[in-house]
Amino acid sequence: AKEFGIDDALQKLGIKDINEGTSTGSVNFGSGDIISSYSPVDGALIGKVKTTTASDFEKVMNSATSSFKTWRTTPAPQRGEIVRQFGDKLRELKEPLGKLVSYEMGKSYQEGLGEVQEMIDICDFAVGLSRQLHGLTMHSERPGHRMYEQYHPLGVVGIISAFNFPVAVWAWNTALAWVCGDVCIWKPSEKAPLCGIACQNIAATVFKANNLPEGISCLINGDYKVGELMTHDNRIPLVSATGSIRMGKIVAQAVASRLGKSLLELGGNNAIIVTPDADIKMTIIGAVFGAVGTAGQRCTSTRRLIVHESVYDTVKDALIKAYNQLRIGNPLDENNHVGPLIDTAAVTLYEKALKQVEEEGGKMIVEGGVLKGEGFESGCYVKPAIAEAKNDFGIVQHETFAPILYLLKYSGEVQNAIALQNGVVQGLSSAIMTNNLREAENFLSCAGSDCGIANVNIGTSGAEIGGAFGGEKETGGGRESGSDAWKIYMRRQTNTINYTTELPLAQGIKFDL
Ligand code: NAD
């Protein structure tokens, strides 16, 4: 870690005593059990963080609800100015934060920097949005009346995030929620708690410099039990939860039982369709990056490649060749393509999936395996694998968060490939590689891909913040980031104003006194 400047990065991010863990300010400081964060890169202890107890949570909640009163009446463009300053701080700290993301989560340094760039991008987007947040005006049926709608701040937003995007998911939510006038309580993944503390430190600096209350940005730490404090609390009108489908089903029920709103960003099972008219070179780059980038731990990772029989062998051979060139190792070393999985529990799930695909009749064309020896001491490094499989295998239907790609064959028309692509419970990201306009338009039509994201001639991963991000079916239906995703962070109100001296009723109803 030393040679890659981790100590220096931690210091720049305000994580000073790495063995005790740290946090700014009283409201964010937990008094519960300690979580130790180990790096999957080299297995070393990075730091310890105190978790949040129920009574700590009460303090955080009080701080958040009282801060909301100040924040909701701060004009939206002024809130945007705070988010602009927050974005500038992220620009200053991009390298140390990107490095911590890489070291604590295990993605490549380049992807760590990319994740911080996404935070900066959403801040820029949110600043522009802070001068908009517009409703509509409509015409009243009654004379001398005016109708319009407006969007008001919602309140305390709870954010529960997954380990694989340990900083960006929070920023997608919080930058929008802040300009919308909400305050946020964030529970980061217990697998990347120091990333949470680093972000909280950055936000706290900005709020403090502007004499704004600390409770606008709150951090709580711990596992699912701490998350449940938020999902069951009716002082939190919106819970935004990113993670597994299993988690989403529990969170959705808890929040719905108190008629709160939830924004769910859950697992994917993303496919690229490769038609006879595909550009094979582009296909291989898109598929390999999609399958092995972040060691297959993106919600948008490519898990299935659905290839037309006429180009199947060409694609298969090119994939095997590309996989032979992959360098696996320390993700902070820019020469490597593939870093570690998050922890040894994830390695066990990877091994189980490889076993299962063979048991179900799949054939490995690029063998997997766990790497041992120098440089792999953490036990978290695995070989990206490819199996020839069938779409209805149990394991193919399931999202394994690891670099395993399933190669599926289709014949006939593109509709047959679309049926396979849609034939899973998840509906996040999808792509088609084709130079044939008819195929592309079929894929994008109402009878085409059923996913929240459908791409032509690019892979399944690597979305930009300008579009709304999220998926259908068991992916949860939520949308974050760009377009009009901001609306879920606000409450909508319809207003009718009568500027006459009469009181006509709607629908012509007569009520004379
Ligand atoms: P996970 O479901 O194990 O945990 C996610 C978060 O939920 C953690 O903070 C965890 O503590 C919390 N949690 C778990 N159970 C909870 C409960 N009952 N109540 C409240 N909180 C609870 O997921 P993970 O392993 O961290 O992340 C990987 C998963 O996340 C994958 O399925 C991936 O596809 C998904 N993901 C989806 C998106 C998306 O935008 N669709 C983005 C990133 C990750």
Torsion of CA 197, 199, 204, 207, to 10 degrees: -160
Q: Rounded to whole angstroms, how far apart are CA atoms 176 and 178?
A: 5
- Evaluate if pTM is beyond 0.90: yes
* pLDDT tens digits along 58-74: 999 999 999 999 999 99
- Whether 170 is in the pocket of ligand 1, judged by its Cβ within 6 Å, is no
Dist. CA 400–CA 303, nearest whole Å? 8
Share of the chain above pLDDT 70, in %: 97
CA-closest residue to ligand 1 atom 43: 299
The pLDDT, as a whole number, for residue 31 is 86
Find out whether the beta carbon of 227 lies less than 6 Å from any atom of ligand 1. Answer: yes
Q: What is the pLDDT of residue 3?
A: 79
Q: Is 265 a catalytic residue?
A: yes
Ligand 1 centroid to residue 262 C-alpha, Å: 14
Provide the b/e sequence for 94-103 (b: ≥16 CB within 10 Å).
Answer: bbbbbbbbbb
Is the beta carbon of 250 within 6 A of some atom in ligand 1? yes
**What pLDDT is attached to residue 17?**
59
Q: Are 64 and 183 in contact (CB under 8 A)?
A: yes
pLDDT for the residue 310: 98
Residue 239 β-bridge partners: 158, 262
Band the pLDDT of 2: cuts 50, 70, 90. Answer: confident
Backbone angles phi, psi at 40, to 5 degrees: -70, -10
pLDDT tens digits along 243-276: 999 999 999 999 999 999 999 999 999 999 999 9
**Spatial distance between the Cα atoms of 234 and 156, rounded to a whole number of angstroms:** 10
What digits encode the pLDDT tens for the residues 203-247? 999 999 999 999 999 999 999 999 999 999 999 999 999 999 999
| Residue with CA nearest ligand 1 atom 35 | 243
- Given a contact cutoff of 8 angstroms between Cβ atoms, the answer to whether 396 and 304 are in contact is yes
Q: Residues 400, 355: contact at Cβ < 8 Å?
A: no
How far is the centre of ligand 1, averaged over its atoms, from the C-alpha of 307 (Å)? Answer: 31
pLDDT of residue 22: 44
Determine whether the shortest distance from the Cβ of 193 to ligand 1 is under 6 A: no
CA 265 to ligand 1 center in whole angstroms: 8
Residues 62-85 as b or e (16 or more Cβ within 10 Å = b): ebbeebbeebbebebeebbbbbbb
* CA distances for 421 relative to 40, 72, 195, 334, 443, angstroms: 33, 44, 35, 34, 10
In DSSP notation, 382-407 reads: B--EEEE--TTSHHHHS--SSSEEEE
Ligand 1 centroid from CA 160, angstroms: 8
Q: How far apart are CA 267 and CA 474, in angstroms?
A: 8
Query: CA-CA distance, 488 to 104, in Å (whole number)?
Result: 31
198, burial (CB in 10 Å: exposed 0-12, middle 13-18, buried 19+): buried
How far is 423 from 122, CA to CA, in rounded Å? 33
The predicted pLDDT at position 16 comes to: 66
Q: Is 18 left (phi over 0), alpha (psi -120 to 50) or beta?
A: alpha
Atom 8 (ligand 1) nearest CA? 189
401 touches ligand 1 (CB under 6 Å): yes
* Residue 377 reports pLDDT greater than 60: yes
pLDDT at 4 over 90: no
Handedness of CA 236, 469, 242, 462 (dihedral sign): negative
State the catalytic residue, choosing from 104, 265, 474, 480: 265
> What is the Rg, in whole angstroms, of the alpha carbon atoms belonging to the chain?
24
CA distances from 97 to 120, 126, 305, 463 (A): 12, 21, 34, 20
Tell me the CA–centroid distance for residue 135 and ligand 1, in Å: 33
Does the beta carbon of 299 lie inside 6 Å of ligand 1? yes
pLDDT average, residue stretch 145-168: 98
Q: Using 50, 70 and 90 to split pLDDT, how confident is the model at 311?
A: very high
239 C-beta closer than 6 A to ligand 1 = no
Closest of 318, 485, 497, 323 to residue 404, by C-alpha: 323
Return the pLDDT at 29: 61
Tokens of 57: 């949570």
262 lines ligand 1 (CB under 6 A): no
Q: Once rounded to an integer, what is the mean pLDDT over residues 134-154? A: 97
Cα(24) to centroid(ligand 1), Å: 25
pLDDT at 1: 67
Summarised one tens digit per residue, pLDDT across range 158-186 is 999 999 999 999 999 999 999 999 999 99
Q: Which of 223, 244, 301, 350 to mutate to test the pocket of ligand 1 (most atoms within 8 A of CB)?
A: 244
Of all protein residues, the one whose alpha carbon is nearest to atom 30 of ligand 1 is 243
- Give the side-chain half-sphere CA count within 13 A for 475: 25
24 pLDDT above the threshold of 60: no
pLDDT given for residue 489 in this prediction: 98
For tokens 């620009």, the residue is: 91
The pick from 51, 104, 164, 169 for probing ligand 1's pocket by mutation, whose C-beta has the most ligand atoms within 8 angstroms, reads 164
Q: Is the CB of 160 under 6 A from ligand 1?
A: yes
How large is the average pLDDT for residues 364-391?
Answer: 98
Is the confidence at residue 28, as pLDDT, over 60?
A: no
The mean pLDDT of the chain is: 95
- DSSP β-ladder status, 468-469 and 480-481: antiparallel
Q: What is the pLDDT of residues 392-413, one digit of tens each?
A: 999 999 999 999 999 999 999 9
Q: From the CA of 25, how far away is ligand 1's center (Å)?
A: 27
Name the token pair of 168: 């960006």
With a cut of 70, say whether residue 26 has pLDDT above it. no
User: Confidence band (pLDDT; 50, 70, 90) for 333?
Assistant: very high
**Residue 25: is its pLDDT beyond 60?**
no
- Please write the tens of the pLDDT for every residue from 86-99: 999 999 999 999 99
pLDDT at 473: 98
